[in-house]
Copies of this chain bind each other. A is one copy, B any other.
Amino acid sequence: MIKIGIIGVGTVGESVAQILEANRDIITARAGKEIVVKKGVVRNLSKPRNINIPLTTDADEVLDDPEIDIVVELMGGVEEPYRVVQKALQNGKAVVTANKALLAYHRYELQETAGDIPFEFEASVAGGIPIIKSLREGLSANHIESIKGIINGTANYILTKMMNEGVDFAPVLKEAQELGYAEADPTFDIGGFDAAHKLLILASIAYGIDAKPEDILIEGIEQITQDDISFAKEFGYTIKLLGIAKKVGECVELRVHPALVPQSEMIAKVDGVMNGISVIGDKVGETMYYGPGAGGNATASAVISDIIAIARGGKASPMLGFKRALESGLKLLNRDEIVSKYYLRLEVADKPGVLSAVSKVMGEQNISIETMLQKPGKDGKATLLLATHICKESAMQEAINKLQTIESVKERPVMIRMES
């Protein structure tokens, strides 16, 4: 018998306790032994809950209980769970967590403390999709060339609605909030920060790279309009918020931003709240993993798969993992060095000379334009949409700064990177 303590019995924790009960037959068979929840930890003991496990508000009752084999951290946050997980590992308990924010900041320190004690986190990226096991084990014969993920369901829901129904960002966000797909404060999801946390976890597994969210390029989807979407459609693209990790020489490029993705790519077909992660291995080529990125049951399914693996006597999986960088010497690429194709949208005065002023700025940065469209607007304004050939991020940023100073350019140009 394996005894677990669940610290945090909210959406995911409650589902974990319920599924352990509901699917006891197969879970026991697969784990090779019974898994029992000895105690749960919450803040508020008087909240009604749909589970039948002993509760406490004192995490130490779990952390210091010598009978508990596995601590399941599902409380959310960063510093408090950090303390909890450190203590659990120091007390020799295996740990399972779904907490991507915790891992985005403290994954290497925790892995260091864990040593040979199992420390698993399948649920922390893309909820129910077994992407971490797939990267670590399924693709273990490969050098990973790139990972591209739609790893935030809220942002994907909003972009999909905008694409399919021609609705603007603000009303779709409002609807998503009413449906419970977006938080009251949606910044974390639509600003790309949640996706960045998950990307860092994937990049650690694939590249052993140590970076914090602050170190990487993160842009959100707030500025996307129907003009961008009709451009995308016209040229065979869709717009997705992507987390991208890519090996470039001896460096790894990490970035989260909306991107124009060719409609023919499998990842472009991941719609609504679903998540999808495309991984390119040097030998296997592209594989893609699709499924629900959140929700109590889907996330709990991943949490329990980790519990089962540990119960089966699994050893810690340092391979591809946090313990040390396997891809020796891979460094984070400076964001200025990123190369990409770019799409730009400029609101301009509909006057002669604008086009040539814009082209001049681009030329000065050595950026060549692949496609240019001008759409008439209201009140003597026009919208200029253009796609570039490949150039450096630094050149593009410089161009955007310069474009802004042209008198006929009314607002800071909106830029979306193009992936292909």
Instruction: Spell out A's residues near B (CB within 8 Å).
Output: 15, 19, 22-23, 25-27, 29-32, 122, 128-130, 133-134, 137-143, 266, 269-270, 281-292, 295, 297-298, 300-302, 304-305, 308-309, 312-313, 315, 319-320, 326-328
Contacts and interface: CB of A to CB of B under 8 A. Distances in A.
A137 B141 contact: no
A129 B134 CA distance: 9
Ranked 8 nearest A-B pairs via Cβ: A130-B138, A287-B291, A141-B304, A30-B319, A128-B284, A284-B301, A288-B290, A283-B297
Nearest to A307: B141
B291 A23 contact: no
A290 B266 contact: yes
B141 A300 contact: yes
A312 B136 CA distance: 13
A295 B292 CA distance: 30
A30 B140 contact: yes
Q: Which of A29, A122, A140 has the most CB of B within 10 A?
A: A140
Contacts of A269: 266, 269
B285 A292 contact: yes
5 contacts: A23-B143, A26-B141, A141-B305, A285-B295, A308-B319
B298 A285 contact: yes
Contacts of A297: 283-285
Nearest to A208: B29
Given A23-B141, A26-B143, A313-B315, A128 B290 contact: no
Contact of A301 (B30, B281, B300, B327): B281
A142 B284 contact: no
B19 A141 contact: yes
A326 B31 CA distance: 12
B292 A290 contact: no
Contact of A305 (B32, B139, B304, B308): B139
Contacts of A290: 266, 286-290
Q: Which of A289, A295, A326, A328 has the most CB of B within 10 A?
A: A289
B128 A26 contact: no
Nearest to A142: B301
A137 B309 contact: yes
A327 to B, nearest CB: 7
